[in-house]
Amino acid sequence: MSLPFTRCRETVRGAGLPRVLGGCCALGAAVLAGALAGSSSFAVHAQQSRTAKDGVYAGGQATRGQAIYKGKCASCHGETLEGLQGPALAGDGFLGVWGNQPLSDLVGKVQHTMPRSEPGTITRQQATDVVAYLLQAGKFPAGTAELSGDEAALKQIMLPGPQAPASRPPAATAQTMAFPPAGNLAEVMRGILFPSANVIFDAQVVDPGAPRKKSSSSASDSLSVRFADVYPGWQLVDYAAVALAESAPLMLTPGRRCENGKPVPVGRADWIKLTQDLADAGKAAYKASQSRNQDAVIEVSNQVSESCLNCHRAFRDGRGGGAARCVPRE
């Protein structure tokens, strides 16, 4: 199995998307990221001179930001920043996520990814003004000078953490080692469960054991097309089934939020049961795939889709739209 490894280098050089494959690049990137994170956090602490408590924005700027907020953000984050389909943008929950980080992170998040429905439509200046408004709404005092959108300047200003910091989880041991979430629940769904389930559903229509047409992928194809036939048909189904079963514990990662900022209800018995059903469906799919029998996979794909649907009915698709997601209907 040397193919994915040799292609790794090409991936990094050619498309700058090293996350597409596991193997060498993922490992290298993780090690590198760890080293960078370590060193940059030292640098930040050494240079940190101000926090958002020190009057880092001007009142007039916050007023401009408020107008932008009302026009472009309130529909998803609420008139009073309380959160609707998007998370709350004030209070301890918000500071728990964005606190103890430089304001450059928050301004960048807004500038590059918001408004979620049309990212890239607000300028750096507007993003900075909205953040000034968020500071004002969060009861941080105004000063005389405006908050500058300059990246280096914003890196020097920390947003304080929440008043009552969430109680720390007990120190991790090898047994209980905790990996904090890297994304919200919808991102885990779209990144892992959705593509994996589709491989299994696809096996209902296209026999994984049938010989493949010789693919004529070229360098201009997307990476998923170019690497689609590294692993032969039945193996793909195996791996998708494993991905589903192994993704179940990710439904229970403490501290993960849903897209609307609500915590994933990891402690609820019904949620845990639905998670267990997902794990069981993934294992059953693996068994069916190992039988290399398309009929067995067709049969098990019902169990897979039921495991998705049952949880979505209870925790995703209720009345009330995005704001009600992850909030159980009693």
Helix (H) or strand (E) holding 143: none
258 touching ligand HEC, by CB under 6 A: yes
Stretch that binds ligand HEC, among 44-52, 161-169, 272-280, 286-294 (CB under 6 A): 272-280
Closer to ligand HEC by Cβ: residue 212 or 273: 273
Which 303-322 residues touch ligand HEC, going by CB under 6 A? 304, 307-308, 311-312, 315-316
Q: Does 252 bind ligand HEC (CB under 6 A)?
A: no
Q: What is the DSSP string of 234-288?
A: HHHHHHHHHHHHHHGGGGG-TT-B-TTSPBP-TT-HHHHHHHHHHHHHHHHHHHH
Near ligand HEC in 89-108, by CB under 6 A = 89, 94, 97, 106
Measured between alpha carbons, how far apart are the two ends of the chain, in Å? Answer: 50
Distance CA 73, CA 66 (A): 10
CB contact at 8 A, 321 and 83: no
Contact call for residue 115 and ligand HEC (CB under 6 A) = yes
**184 is an interface residue for ligand HEC by CB under 6 A:** yes
Are β-strands 50-51 and 157-159 bridged in parallel, bridged antiparallel, or unpaired? parallel
Which one-letter DSSP state was computed for residue 212? P
Among 154, 197, 240, 284, binds ligand HEC (CB under 6 A): 197
- Comparison of 24 and 186: residue with beta carbon closer to ligand HEC: 186
Cis peptide before 115 (omega within 30 of 0): yes
Tokens 């990662």 -> residue = 253
Task: Give whichever of 8 and 76 is closer to ligand HEC, judged by the CB atom.
Answer: 76
| Residues lying near ligand HEC in the complex (CB under 6 A) | 72-73, 75-77, 85-87, 89, 94, 97, 106, 109-110, 113-117, 122, 130, 184-186, 189-190, 193-194, 197, 244, 251, 258-259, 261, 271, 274-275, 278, 304, 307-308, 311-312, 315-316, 325-326
